[in-house]
Structure 1
Amino acid sequence: MEFPDGIPPLLIEFALTVAFSFVVGLEFRRYQRTNQYKFHFGSTRTFVLIGLLGFILYTIDTTHVLFGIGLFLLGSMLLIYYWRLSSKEMLSLFSVLLALLIYLTGPIVSIFPRWFLILFIVLLVLILSEKPLIHRISDKLASEEIVTLAKFLVISGVILPLLPDEPIAPVMPVTYDKIWLAVIIVSGFSYLSYLVNTYFFKSRSLMITGVLGGLYSSTVATVVIGRRAHHLAEAAPFVSSALIMATAMMYIRLLIIILLFAPVAGQRLLAPFLAAILLSICTVFALLRFKADSSQPSEVNIIEHPLELSTAIVFALSFMIFTSITQFVTSNYGGRGLNFLSIIVGFTDIDPFILSLLSGEFTVSDSAIVSAVILASGSNNLLKAIYAVVLARNRSVRAAAVWLIFLFAVSILYAFKINA
């Protein structure tokens, strides 16, 4: 937020304090009327005066002792007032805490960057205006989800900083922290998919199943949809569209993970992956133009809990195994051996292989690594085509199988073009 140089900074800070205190006061006034709030110590004008008090006391005393005394006296007055009223009925401390936060607006205007000030005020306004939504979320949020969030914070904020940034072994040219960073990135993406699935799409169509399942695991989504398709021969457009959409979401998930983990490789993969995503979506729209008049069949939940400790350990072990295998292949067979390995790995879980490939230091060129990523994702499409055909055993997956095989063939051709 830029201001003309001719305006005194003190005037700008004063105006911002008044303006934002006034905005929060207006919203608090509406909050009082809407919720018939009984703790009436004031509203809009009172909030402006509290904000001005904090700003003036903070500004006139560079030691900020007066500001601290003012905070203590204001808090004491509000608590006494609250105690007097709460002796008659049960009241919340919400208004007391909000008034104290408004008192802090002046120092926030003076010290923090403007983006933090705006974020601070927007958060206060949202807390006041979205009370019903906050209550609905807290009522729906299961207690085990808090434990799940705690697990994610532990694996990302506690374990990662403790791991050393040094290679594990000569046969495994990857550091300890890189392995766990890969676990965090993949687990975080799966956790996001899990939350969306659990709290927004409990009852889903096949298309939603393909989208959410593809974000979680396109192979798992293909297996589940393929089994369901065995009894849905008449819903071919919906089934094939869901399968293709799962693969499109796989490319989106891989692209985001790679950009977070290895931005340089992600930039080189941006064009081919975006092409696969856009063409897949266009194919889905083309198929849905020929959909049947019947409604889409429903699908069961396929996303399991993504933050179990056993899952993280298995992923970390897979990461280390693929790193060792890749080191052996690249050291003895070079880029050609890596291409052959990538095609084979496509018939397994490709996430640990791709991330180990991007994080290690191997004796191959960057083009060979990009080619390996494309080949692994392409051969994984061939695996999904086989799964779909074998599990469905009817024409409902024909279009999806053809498209997945086409993506595999294009991946082979593109990889050879890169290595040419």
Structure 2
Amino acid sequence: MELDDTLRALLTALGIGLMIGIVRERMHGGPQTLAAGTRTHALICLLGCIGWMLGSAAFVVCLLLVGALTIAAYLHTARDDPGLTGEVALLLSVVLGGLSVDHASLAAALGVLVAILLLLKAPMQKLSRELISERELQDGLMLGAAALVVMPLLPSEPLDPWGTVSPVTVWRIVVLVMAVGMFGHIAQRLFGARWGLPIAGFFSGFVSSSAAVTGMGQSARENSEQTTACASAALLANLASLLLFLAVVGTISPVLLRAALPSLGAAVLALLLVSACLQWLAHRSDLVVAQSSGRAFKLSQALLIAALIAGVSLLAAWLGERFGSAGVLVTTMLVALAEVHAAAAGVAQLQLSGTVPLDVACWGILGVLSASSLAKIVLAFASGGMRYGLQVAAGLVAMPCAAWLGLLLSN
């Protein structure tokens, strides 16, 4: 090892030890029982670094010696401080000191992370003991298991003869619906129902407006006094989806976007107007400030929505194979019931390749928008009930109607 590398490793280890030690001394309640402070952590980090330079056997010996000292320190201070945080931090100092020899940047980053975790003792205790309820913890664990345990185990190969739907695709929809519900629940807890729901709704729309409509519908069913706010948030999700719709069409076929821009611009204005009216009505109600006490999502409804979308995709694939190019636009409309951006991309690609004329493609784009609105209206009634469904339908009907009117007036 060159002299520069050696100095860098030693300085990195020293910096990590000083940083962790300072945080330990600042955050510890009783300095009389503090077994390892700034100097001890700095020396331990340097010991780990030097031990690793001497070889793996020397490092193991250093680690065992520090482990023995840590056990002795814990036995001495256990009555006054029964926690293990300080002991674990001491062992980590040895490991990070050794890691700084070969991976100084990684060791420094991990050292900062350890210091942050030590510094956030009080906020993390408040979060886990006071802010998060038992039900929210269960929902978070269920979402984590669905995304990180179940989804990686599912096969990605399609199971149907048309190669359309795979188990991992269907489950991804389930996770999206659950995640949107959780996102809305967290935003409402952080910002209140007045601003948390609109924020959560708009940004959820960039991921999946169908999932946002369903997630907000679940919130409306759990808290009926917030139905109008949830409906406004669902329409804001569709506004974000419509903006992404414009970007997808424009990326594939700028000519088609320019031709359909008056109608799509009218759709944006109509949707924004209805959403703003609902938001104004929600703000007038004092009931909106109530915090959500229900579940963040319902797994059964997420499974149902995923099954419906998968069924529509299978039907569209079957019709496309049976009728070929003659029914390509009809098939695209059916695809829009499940995924509006994929359908819009399909129409734009057909126009770009010359398969469909420009004027027909404009009608196809609005047909895709109308089919998607119809599907989301059904989801709104199914997930949120009559009142929520009617309010969401007001915006989702106004959007394609304004688009068709804009297209007729521009011709």
Matched position secondary structure for 1:8: helix
CA distance in 1, matches of 2:149, 2:278: 47
Q: CA deviation at 1:15?
A: 1.7
Which of these residues, 62, 67, 70, is aligned with residue 75 of structure 1? 67
CA distance in 1, matches of 2:367, 2:14: 59
- Change in Cα spacing, 1:365 to 1:371, as seen in structure 2 (3 Å) is farther
Matched letter for residue 7 of structure 2? L
Partner in structure 2 of residue 181 of structure 1: 172
Q: Deviations over 1:191-228 (max 9, x none)?
A: 3333444x435x533x5444446646336758959x86
Partner in structure 2 of residue 335 of structure 1: 328
TM-score, normalised by the number of residues in structure 2? 0.68
Hey, which of these two has a bigger chunk of helix by percent? Answer: 2
- Change in Cα spacing, 1:218 to 1:151, as seen in structure 2 (3 Å) is closer
Residues 152, 307 of structure 1: 8 Å contact kept: no
Which of these residues, 19, 22, 34, is aligned with residue 18 of structure 2? 22
Q: CA deviation at 1:186?
A: 3.5
Q: Deviations over 1:90-148 (max 9, x none)?
A: 5222111111111112233234472x434422322222222221111111333444443
Residues 384, 404 of structure 1: 8 Å contact kept: no
Residues 239, 271 of structure 2: 8 Å contact kept: no
CA distance in 1, matches of 2:6, 2:350: 57
Residues 218, 246 of structure 1: 8 Å contact kept: yes
- Change in Cα spacing, 1:113 to 1:252, as seen in structure 2 (3 Å) is farther
Residues 22, 38 of structure 2: 8 Å contact kept: yes
Residues 53, 103 of structure 1: 8 Å contact kept: yes
CA distance in 1, matches of 2:16, 2:136: 35
Q: CA deviation at 1:70?
A: 0.7
Partner in structure 1 of residue 207 of structure 2: none
Which of these residues, 339, 342, 356, is aligned with residue 354 of structure 1? 339
Matched letter for residue 46 of structure 1? T
CA distance in 1, matches of 2:379, 2:49: 63
Q: CA deviation at 1:7?
A: 8.4
CA distance in 2, matches of 1:39, 1:276: 69
* Residue 242 of structure 2 is aligned to residue 249 of structure 1: no
5+ long unaligned stretches in structure 1: 1-5, 231-238, 346-352
Matched position secondary structure for 1:318: helix
- Change in Cα spacing, 1:339 to 1:163, as seen in structure 2 (3 Å) is closer
How much is the aligned-residue C-alpha RMSD, in angstroms?
Answer: 5.1
CA distance in 2, matches of 1:269, 1:243: 33
5+ long unaligned stretches in structure 2: 205-210, 353-360
Partner in structure 2 of residue 3 of structure 1: none
CA distance in 2, matches of 1:54, 1:415: 72
Aligned residues: 367
Q: Deviations over 1:24-45 (max 9, x none)?
A: 222222113xx23543224212
- Change in Cα spacing, 1:71 to 1:143, as seen in structure 2 (3 Å) is farther
CA distance in 1, matches of 2:53, 2:67: 20
* Residue 83 of structure 2 is aligned to residue 98 of structure 1: no
